[in-house]
Structure 1
Amino acid sequence: MNSKESVPDTQHKNPDNDPRGPYVLSDVTSSFDRPTLQYEWHGHLPPQGRSWRFTRERAVALEADGRIAFSGGGLPRLKRYLSEAASKKSQEPELKASFRLEIIVRTAMKAIASEIAENPKCLRDVEWRDLERVMREVFERLGFRTELTRPGKDGGFDLRLESDECGKIKVFLVEVKHWLASGKKPGSKVLSSMVDVVAKAGDNTKGLLVSSSGFTGDVLSGRTEIEQHTVKIAGQNKIVSLCQNYIESVEGIWLPTTELSEMLLEGSS
């Protein structure tokens, strides 16, 4: 056979005459242990220690688009089309490197969360951006859907959290002030800015301002009743307690006894 001849593809098939052509079926679970991605999909849950690769909304959309096939036992599989293989192959090294990097970063954040839970004094040695990443890991493990904003473009908050409670989506904007090493403390001006950010986000949104170094004595002065309802503040103890809840969740000995929103705001002012 001439070396330039194409080798017949025997992997991609089209048993259901999909108009997009031949495909292979691939796993729809990932090695990440994410409670928010461990929902029931057609009567099945992901294997222990794994999660679905997609959010529930994305899974529904993929099904509607005909991208999901189900085995005889009802397990979902993702269709990967031959027509898409060439373009994806060129991107594969970059995607694999990005995935490996994400695993490295998230594994490191888990280790830092564990250290904070056991030794709160180590907070002084944690960089401010790393603490934001740590808190994202913690919130995801506890059951929130999370979004970490980009540095310098956060719009007045570092994390956006969502929880589904009694069929309603609750949104929380979290600002993390980590000024412990400098000894500085956020005051009423920082809190007022956070109130403005939450107000612009809509009625279904609340805020949490967390500071590892505490707050100035006047931080709560002049707050209106509405401001007290929309934005809460919490100090270092909240960071530590959340990390401790995280460790207990990993070890399987913590389950929320209240709604996630109540747990999040517990102990705040």
Structure 2
Amino acid sequence: MMSLLAARTGDTAGETSPAALIRHTLIQTQRLLLRWARNPITLFETLLIPCLLLIMLDIVVGGQIERFTGEDALYGSVPMVALVGALSGAVAGGVLLGRERDAGLLARFWVLPVHRASGLASRILAEGCRILLGTIAVLIVGFLLGFRFHQGPLAALAFFFVPVIFGLAFATIVTAVAVYTAKASLVEGITILTSLMMFFSTGFVPLVAFPTWIQPVVRNQPMSVAVDAMRGLADQGPIARPLTMTLLWSAGAVLLFAIPAAIGFRRASRR
């Protein structure tokens, strides 16, 4: 892969040009997607676990939620599981990033005639592709269970962008952690946070099912607002408020962690 990348980069004089950034980003994105596709853990956490989780939720609690609220539980569980898949895949990607750093692969790319920004840009693009594919897989299972779009094609298209934006913001946090620590357990420990976000979200059970004192936290936490936005885009419910809050949560995560992630990635590449 190293020799292939070096051979395909062209002459070194233009390695800092915008054209080189695009070309090198696409090459490295392809490398990452192939690496993830060949990694059983990444495939398991990105595709298989979310689909199995959706089926389990529909079997175990779907009927009870529908009897309790009179609404199909799939319009909460499908968005929630798509988001969980995006977060789980980001954690798996963070673990692989840490391994590449420890193995010296990032440092090898740093000394090649490759645009320096393409390493981080390719990870963003690859994450977006992974999240989109995972969302499609969850939706296929959801359609088999009865999930449908009722708000038109534009709303359905916007539905796909919510987990991508949300997942990329979370991936920024994971990247910032992965490039600074050599312990994969610290990155994997983030899954505890994602589990709490899932169980205390409006996608798991309706808001009224939670104790009154915790309802404001559940209603406004990042995963709940993203679930509510996706529910409104697919079936019914408010869209403006939860979508705005999702964008604000995502923008806040990027603003706080993008610079540390970029600095850490540069330091990790120069080790």
Question: Which TM-score bucket, shorter chain as reference?
Answer: under 0.3
Work out which of the two has the higher radius of gyration on C-alpha atoms and give 1 or 2.
1
TM-score (norm 1): 0.26
TM-score (norm 2): 0.26
Pick the structure with more helix per residue. Answer: 2
